[in-house]
Structure 1
Amino acid sequence: MARMRPGTRRTTTGAALAVALSALLAIMTANPASAATVFADGFENPVVIGDFTEFTAGQQFGPWTVTSGNVGLTRDWQAAEGNQSLDLNGFAPGAVARTLPTKPLTTYRVTYALAGNPDNGPVIATGRVTANGNTVDSFSFDTTGQTPSDMGYVYRTFYVVNVLSSATTLGFASTTTGAFGPVIDDVRVDSCLLVLCPASASTSTVG
């Protein structure tokens, strides 16, 4: 009877485990249900009457509060999702925020659509995203060649690891001066398993 060489069973078991984990990762990556949605908003509330509604610091719209300057909820151009988007420069740079329930020692994936006001102003629109006051993403968008009917939205994704906080305040702010700046839409926050939230340069820790 042939004898198994020492270490053969361990190697076989390790290979089988690697194959199983690889298959599990493929299934979970292909299945969005593996990530639990905490929050999703396309800035459809309230419905804008006309083209543009301005909100100033201290005012609320939908789930958001304007924390500085002023912003505009608009139907004046193409939205990434639905019919409305958020202009982070109303008549001056603005910022918005909302507080989300979060669990300790949990990773959250944040995605959003980014564009820029194509009507006028600086070619490069810039801004930042914060979690509990800490900058977790800095962004810029080149409006060259974009039009109100073809905004050229790009989707950005980053990860936030919540350590201890039971709530996290997510904020978006323009860092572009004047009345023409970044536009955001289709904001989504998902809590996700470790295999769906790999550690990377786009991962920040808060709480």
Structure 2
Amino acid sequence: VNMERFADETDILIIGGGPAGMSAAIQAKKLAEKHGKEIRVTLVEKASTVGGHILSGACIDPVALNELIPDWKELGAPLKTPVTEDKFALLTEKSRIPIPIFKGMPMYNHGNYIVRLGHVVSWLGEQAEAAGVEIYPGYAASEVLYHEDGSVKGIATNDVGIAKDGSPKGTFERGMELHAKCTIFAEGCHGHLTKQITQKLNLRANSEPQSYGIGLKE
């Protein structure tokens, strides 16, 4: 499609509206306010609603939230169920072997909260908007844009209204470009744009492999 994209400028652009992206947006506005500066922080999220693509169900340590939003309890954060007991066991074909969990071990969760992570992210989105962050749900970043020197310039959102054969339909709308002084990729584990940048800029050289965990409840 040979159509020029509309382009917009922002100071900080964040790709992804999960816990990391929302926290980064809130902290950026807090730091700007602390230093008496006015900056534009823009966040794009591919889901139609904030928190819509979060694999919900989590047990979270509130230490980071305490630093980011110290009065989160007064502001009604959806952390309502504190952990009161940990149980861990190895299951064999015919038996269950209990394993004790002590303080300092990875599975020790006393002081943490059982949450629906989608609700937590939605609440973080409300706090971000209250801080002045511009949030655009329903916009998927499809391409990384670069300056001539190879540094990241921003992203382009996806075109919509494309037929199966790749031709534009009557509802076609060209994606837009977002340019930023600083672009933060918070796409989650193995985000497609993050993988492109990692390969292009060789970011995995002499680095530990990325590790992540996804919890499943049966």
Alignment TM-score, normalising by the size of structure 2? 0.20
Give the TM-score of the pair, scaled to structure 1: 0.20
More helix by share: 2
